Amino acid sequence: MTAEVVNDFLCFNKVQKSYDQKTLVVKNFDLNVAQGEFLTLLGPSGSGKTTVLMMMAGFESVTSGDILLNGKPITRTAPNKRNIGMVFQNYALFPHMSIAENLSYPLKVRKMSKPEIDERVDRYLKLIEMEDFGARTPAQLSGGQRQRVALARALIFDPSLVLMDEPLGALDKKLREQMQLEISRLHKKLGFTVIYVTHDQSEALTMSDRIAVFDDGVVQQCAVPETLYEDPANAFVAGFIGENNFFPGTVISVDAESVRVKISTGDEIEAQRVDCDTVGSSCIVSVRPESLFILPSDHEFDNKITVKFTARLYVGDFIRYFFETPDGTEIVVKVLNDQAAPKFSDDEEVGLISLRKNCFAFAAK
């Protein structure tokens, strides 16, 4: 983020969207975005994140509520008057124009002088390390190169805000990772504000200052990546961000910060209390695969679950172990691949343990 942070640079005030005047696809969306911030809207398909982006761009109308940019309402402002740059998954480059012409187009629309256009095009070609590609057409570039040009074209006219809609979705894994670094580099260098839409959780965790997790038109949690991963607000966030194991159970005792839960295996687990606080209520305990530790089944330990080994998957730097509880629930444990990594026979009974701080109890929905 930039040194000077304006906390109300972009504001959403009770924004709602309905396509049929009956069903809301975005519900009471409230959010403030700081100037220079990289905010990601993350969620499954149909959760409302892209609709928010389209309302911001002006391509979709707002059913109710307001969007303010730099303190001024833009809800009824035409898309071409909002000074917003956009990057799409399909690049949206003009195929009949050269790369230099693609970059100069938004400057010509704004009636800049030719010397200023030429200087800025040269500067941005160098910025994306493509100064020798200005005469080529989009068809003569790789997917990663085209996306870098699309990014430069969205930035070249100094927009107030840059919107990115699944911009890396068409790239393979290696190119995606390269472009993640490229976008992060340019964001850090130029300090522009980004609203980024994706359903890829690892992409969101890697690139964002904050992430707003959407489900069914509602932001379930908006926080920095570390908080989302280590302190999820509810079971949906815990399940959507990263990998998780879930144990259904019943609350048997409650104290100030934790609950004791009897899970379906008959074992008792002490967990951090998130949103369940009633003895006898149904809940779900979540534990991440890297927070479970394997020990012999005859060892006594708090927060121990007895399971049977079913499979072992070698993934290079770590090993994924698969276990099964008596009620058929599959449990995954991640262990670093070293000489101490254990081996088990089929159906061998073992114990899994986890510290209370790594277990979260959520109210069952």
> What is the count of structural domains for the chain?
2
In 3D, which of 296, 285, 299, 365 has the Cα closest to residue 331? 285
Segments forming the whole domain that contains residue 248: 243-363
Asked whether residue 47 is assigned to any structural domain, the reply reads: yes
* Alpha carbon distance 57, 83 (integer Å): 9
Helix (H) or strand (E) holding 282: strand 282-287
Claim to verify: residue 190 and residue 277 sit in the same structural domain: no
Asked whether residue 3 is assigned to any structural domain, the reply reads: no
Asked whether residue 216 is assigned to any structural domain, the reply reads: yes
CA 155, distance to chain mean position in Å, is 22
The one-character DSSP state at 224 is -
- Quote the pLDDT of residue 179: 85
Both tokens assigned to 280: 């006898």
**Which three-class secondary structure state does DSSP give residue 350?**
strand
Tokens 């307001």 appear where? 66
Asked whether residue 275 is assigned to any structural domain, the reply reads: yes
Claim to verify: residue 175 and residue 86 sit in the same structural domain: yes
Residue that finishes a domain, picked among 235, 263, 292: 235
Per-residue tens of pLDDT for the chain, all 365 residues: 333 344 579 999 999 999 998 899 999 999 999 999 999 999 998 899 999 999 999 999 999 999 999 989 999 999 988 999 998 877 788 999 999 999 999 999 999 999 999 999 999 999 888 999 999 999 999 888 988 899 899 999 989 899 999 888 877 888 888 889 888 988 998 899 999 999 889 899 999 999 999 999 999 999 999 999 999 999 999 999 989 999 999 999 999 889 999 998 889 999 999 988 899 999 999 999 999 998 866 667 778 888 999 999 988 888 999 999 988 889 999 998 876 678 888 999 988 999 999 999 999 87
Q: What is the CATH number of the domain that holds 132?
A: 3.40.50.300
CA 2, distance to chain mean position in Å, is 21
Claim to verify: residue 148 and residue 60 sit in the same structural domain: yes
Claim to verify: residue 286 and residue 312 sit in the same structural domain: yes
Asked whether residue 16 is assigned to any structural domain, the reply reads: yes
| Burial class (CB within 10 angstroms; exposed 0-12, middle 13-18, buried 19+) of 23 | exposed
Asked whether residue 186 is assigned to any structural domain, the reply reads: yes
* Strand partners for 336: 318
* Alpha carbon distance 314, 359 (integer Å): 26
Asked whether residue 352 is assigned to any structural domain, the reply reads: yes
Residue that finishes a domain, picked among 192, 215, 235: 235
Claim to verify: residue 188 and residue 307 sit in the same structural domain: no
**Which CA distances in Å does 184 have to 37, 50, 99, 177, 214?**
11, 21, 22, 11, 23
In 3D, which of 164, 133, 168 has the Cα closest to residue 147? 168
Claim to verify: residue 122 and residue 196 sit in the same structural domain: yes
Cα R_g (the chain), whole angstroms: 25
**Which three-class secondary structure state does DSSP give residue 107?**
helix
Instruction: Output the pTM of the full model.
Output: 0.87
Claim to verify: residue 90 and residue 67 sit in the same structural domain: yes
Claim to verify: residue 305 and residue 167 sit in the same structural domain: no
- Inter-residue contact 204 to 225 (CB < 8 Å): yes
- Quote the pLDDT of residue 288: 95
- Quote the pLDDT of residue 6: 42
- Quote the pLDDT of residue 17: 96
Extract long-range pairs of 100-103: CB within 8 Å, 24+ residues apart. Answer: 100/125, 100/134, 100/135, 102/138, 102/149, 102/153, 103/149, 103/152, 103/153, 103/156
Q: What is the CATH number of the domain that holds 247?
A: 2.40.50.140
Residue that finishes a domain, picked among 190, 211, 235: 235
* Alpha carbon distance 148, 128 (integer Å): 6
Claim to verify: residue 262 and residue 284 sit in the same structural domain: yes
Asked whether residue 325 is assigned to any structural domain, the reply reads: yes
In 3D, which of 7, 15, 13, 8 has the Cα closest to residue 71? 8
Claim to verify: residue 275 and residue 305 sit in the same structural domain: yes
Claim to verify: residue 142 and residue 202 sit in the same structural domain: yes
- Cross-sheet strand order for the sheet of 210-215: 84-88, 161-165, 194-198, 38-42, 210-215, 218-223
Claim to verify: residue 209 and residue 267 sit in the same structural domain: no
